[in-house]
Each structure stands twice: as C-alpha cells, then as structure tokens.
Amino acid sequence: MADTFIQFHNVSFRFPEQSIKSPDILRDIDLSIECGEYIAIVGSNGSGKSTLVKLIDGLLIPSKGKVEIDGFSTSIPAHLPKIRKQIGIIFQYPEDQIVASTVEEDIAFGLENYGVPTREMHRRVKKVMEGFDLMDVRQRPSYMLSGGQTQRLALASVLAIAPECLIFDEATSMLDPAARKNLMGIMKSFHREGKTILHITHSMDEADQADRILVMGNGEIQYDGKPDQLFRRDDIEQWNLEYPENIRLIKALNQAGILIPDSKLSLSELAASILRQCYIRPNDSGGNNPIGTQAKKPMVDVKDLSFVYLMGTPMQVQALNGVSFEVKSGNGHGLIGKTGSGKSTVLQHLNGILKPQSGSVRVGNFDLTNDEYQLKDVVSTAGLVMQNPENQFFEFYVGDEIAFGPKNTGYDGKLANRVQWAMEQVGLDFLEFKDKPVHTLSGGQKRKVALASILALKPSIFMLDEPTAGLDPHSRREVLASFHRLKQDGVTMIISSHNLDDILSLTDTLTVLDKGHSVDNGETHQMISDVNSMLNHGIDPPFIAKLAMQISKENDQRIEGIADIKDLVDRLGPANHGSL
C-alpha cells in the first residue's frame, strides 16, 4: 500500500439538479491523506464535509477532477468493490445504512457480501456485538432500536468488515456523553493499530484530539494543520467554529486575572493551578431556582406512564415503566438519560404519536389517555421536532416543507409570511433556501428545516428531540437564541438532549430517565451540578462540574453548584484579594 492513501486531484462536485446559478458544493479540492493519519474535518453546515467523505467512498463521483484510494480511481466502477472494502463510513444518520431486519443479520450482511467464511463470520459478528453491547438485542428488529443503539449497530456492522480507513460522519452527535467518550476511545484505539481515521464533527473538544484538522468553508479547504495551531488563532469564528471547552475556560480565567498558560493540563493539575492563584468566593447567589414556578399552571402532566413495544410478542420491549413528571406553563423542561432510556418514547406520547398503555398523559387541554381528541389539534398545540429530521419531511422543496403543517391544520393567513418568519427564526435565508430541494441540504440544514416546519405551526408547547445535534457552533447559537425568544413569549418547551449545555441553557426543571424509569425530578442547575448524582444515573457530568469537585477535594472550602464556566469564574477571586 502506498504511503499516500487518499488523493484528491483538483476535485469539484455539484448535484445534477442544482440550479445553474448555485455554486459547486466542492470546488477545486487538492488533498493528500497518508496511511494511518487521524484527521478531524470541521466547518459550518453546508460547507461540504459530508460530500467530501462520500467522494472518498465512491458514493458520489466528482463532477471534475479525480479521487484516488490507494491508487484506484473512484470514477472507474470496477475499482469500487476494492475501494469500499478498505473504506468504512458511519453516517450522520446511521439508520440510512441499516439494511437487514435484525441486529445480528445486519452485522453479518456485509461479511456475507464479501464472502467471509461462515465460521469466521460468526466469530466477527459475536465479537462486535459484545464490544458494542448489542448481545441482548441481537434478535431485535433494527427499526426498534433507540438512536444510540442504531448508531452502535452501524458502527459494529462497519467494523466487522475490518476496513483500513474509518470515516465517522457526525457519528457521536446522537450519543450520550459516556457513549461518546467510549466511541472516541475506539477511534484512538484503531488509530494506534495503524488505521486511517477521518472524523467529521462540530465538537471542537473532539477535533482537538486529532493529529490534523481540515477546516471546510464555502466548498474549499480553508485550513489544514495541527489543532493547537488552529486554536491559537483569534479568528476561527470566521469559519463558524468555537474553541474547545478547556481553552474557553482558560480564556475566561485569564480575563479574570487567573493565568493558566497550558491548555493540556489534567483535571488535577488544572485544579491545583487555579487554587495557587485564587480564593473561593462565598456563594451569595441564593440558588438558581426558577422564579414563580410553583404558581404556574401545569401545561404537561405525566403520571405513572408505561409503554411496551411489540406487546404480546416474543420481541416485546419495555420502553417506559412508571414515568412521572409535570411541566409548568411557560417553563422549559429537560429529559436526560443514557441512550435507550426512553426519552424519545416519552416525547412521542406527548405529541399523540403513541397512546399510553397505562398511566395518564395530559397535554394542554387534551387528555391523551382517551380518544376524545383530534390528533391534528394535539399536533398544532404540541409540536415535536424529531431526532432525525428526514422522518418528518413530506415535500420536495424547503419552502413547501415548512408550509406543509400550517396548510394542513387550517391556517388561513398568508403562508409565505409564516414560512419566512419560521425560516428567519432558525437562520435560514428565505430567498436562498425556499426553492432548494430538501435532499440536497446538509444534515445541519435539514435540522433547521425540521425546526422551522414545527415553528410554522406556532405551537404553545414546543418539543425538541436532540435539537442542536448536527449544527455548527454558529447555527447552534442562532437556534438557541430563537428558543430563548420563544420562552420569553410564553411557549412551554420540553427538550430531550445529550448536550447538557443545551439543557442548562433552556430548561428550568429536569427529569432523569434510566431504563424507562423516571429516577429523579428537580431543578435543572442543581441536578446537573451534582456530579455524584449524575454519575449514579450513568450520565457523564459536565467538565466544569468535575473540575469544581476536584477543586473541592484539594481545598478545605467546598465549591458547589457549578455547572458551567460562568458559574466557576464567578466563584473565584485573585489570591491577593482573599485567602485560600
């Protein structure tokens, strides 16, 4: 195998159905990737990241130029079987690559196609099922898996083939923090074995762990170099990037007069460095409890909700078991828990997609336990943005898709105005995007369309399943700002997310789910800052909360209630103004 494994020669790409006025998705790309490199690919939504890696696997063919894998051109059909045996892709939406009816059959599918002997095939299938905690669900229908389980299945199916190059296209975006940490460990493990790793991500904390970073922008490679050199620059926002959390913390500490020169310190080293320079201020905030919560009327009331998929069959799955919580009108409520804990199933009950088998669900004025309601009325009141946007698309063009809901629920105003308003809320330019085919959009842009399509209904309850997954940092800030405006206007929000920063930003109260049970309910900030409680529920706490705990261990004065960077910086003062 040649040292240069992947080679782009002046490559451009555009979809045949694109308007002649629209620019190429990729333009004049020249790129060399050596065997065994670990490369992160970052950039804004629509910058061409996913298109780049699909060209590597031959899923797309260049409109101009040539892509070679180990010397074989992807433009020659006879080369594709050999290329695809060497390249394994885990897509942004893993269900797109699930082809068989059960977990075990899907993992075996690729091995059968490549003629792997039966005994070796069984060995590999068992090994990856054990490695990705899929043994207990090996006979489960693939469509009955949670989002995280589907992602693990897609990864297991690719790894069973043992490719030389692994491409992860936002593969961590739907995973809980612990599973994400585990997948990052898997990437590093395969890199140590000499495999080439390409990782598309919007997480700069993940990108910082690569050996090399490619920054995509406007269909071109804007930066190609080391992570530490990129994050020493002060202009990365031009590419809609942000700094990794440890660097953001150090910048905030430096601004507060606490100088931390090294961004690669361990948790213990960072805590010790902070304590050498500052003292801990007393906590005078009086807590972070939402004001007036108790006086508000419940907008959502769930009591002892249970649900079993495929009830009465050998493959039945207990998804929910005794879930209870309530959400006050105008408040934000979070649902967190490990992958497969039941969060999406809860949301689908609140929207009327699933009917309670036991327990009760009241949403607004609707008792969803009985049949005395019209589903379209519930959907208009409680809008749900699903975890995977494609699951709720009906139309070909973006503008028609966003107009679909209002048009079919009796809206009698000017649809174009409602569509334009909804698109503006999520940062989609009306004139630029209204006539674009939905399937030509990037994953992040599709998520924005899904958000706008529900916003166009102007629901009084807005439910979001992983709302910022797949969004670049700039788009995430835009969307979060839109959600904050909706809350200020009195909209009740229920958010399921593995991103604890989103939960902290948008919610007042929180329910922790574990194996279908609601194991804890309480105030968001207090619960997330409690490291031991989060760990007991199988949730990886925020880095800042763990740092605060480490500071407490190394200091006589405890520092509690810390969930984000601002919390921590507010509690620290320069040492010359106090004592440790």
Distance CA 559, CA 562 (A): 7
User: What pLDDT was estimated at residue 521?
Assistant: 96
Q: Under a CB-based contact definition with an 8 Å cutoff, are residues 74 and 80 in contact?
A: yes
Element (H, E) at 463: strand 461-465
309 DSSP β-pair partners: 317
pLDDT, tens digit only, all 580 positions of the chain: 448 999 999 999 998 877 777 888 999 999 999 999 999 999 998 899 999 999 999 999 999 999 999 999 999 999 999 998 899 998 877 787 888 989 999 999 989 988 899 999 999 999 999 988 899 889 988 888 876 688 789 889 998 988 999 999 988 887 788 778 888 988 998 899 999 999 999 999 999 999 999 999 999 999 999 999 999 999 999 999 999 998 999 999 888 888 887 777 888 889 988 888 888 887 765 445 444 445 677 999 999 999 998 888 887 889 999 999 999 999 999 999 988 899 999 999 998 889 999 999 999 989 999 877 788 888 889 989 887 777 789 999 999 999 998 988 888 889 999 999 999 988 899 999 999 999 888 877 888 899 999 999 999 999 999 988 888 898 888 889 889 988 998 999 999 999 999 999 999 999 999 999 999 999 999 999 999 999 998 888 999 999 999 998 888 778 889 999 999 999 987 766 544 3
Tokens read off for 258: 């606490």
Strand partners for 90: 168
- What ranges in 371-523 are assigned the alpha helix state H? 375-381, 398-408, 415-425, 430-433, 443-455, 473-488, 500-506
Which class in CATH covers the domain with range 4-240?
alpha beta
Query: What distance in Å separates the CA atoms of residue 490 and residue 458, rounded to the nearest whole number?
Result: 12
Contact 513, 346 (CB under 8 A): yes
SS3 assignment, position 320: strand
The Cα angle at residue 298 between residues 294 and 302, in degrees rounded to 5: 120
- DSSP letter string, 42-92: EE-TTSSHHHHHHHHTTSS--SEEEEEETTEETTSGGGHHHHHHHEEEE-S
Note whether 55 and 15 are within 8 A (CB): no
Is the fold of 4-240 the same as that of 299-528?
yes
- H helix runs in 142-212, sequence order: 147-159, 177-192, 204-207
Quick one: which H or E segment has residue 22? none
Q: Which two tokens stand for residue 41?
A: 């690919």
Domain spans, the chain? 4-240, 246-283+546-577, 299-528
Tell me which H or E stretch contains 123. helix 118-131
CB 145 within 8 A of CB 317: no
What pTM did the predictor assign? 0.85
Q: How far is CA 494 from CA 77, 383, 461, 525, in A?
A: 48, 10, 8, 16
Q: Which amino acid is at 480?
A: L
Closest CA to 136 of 149, 147, 148: 149
- Token representation of residue 499: 């991103």
Cβ neighbours for 439, distance < 8 A, ≥ 6 positions apart: none
Distance CA 145, CA 521 (A): 26
Fold of domain 299-528:
Rossmann fold (3.40.50)
**Kind and range of the H or E element at 250?**
helix 245-255
Measured distance CA(453)–CA(380) in Å, rounded: 12
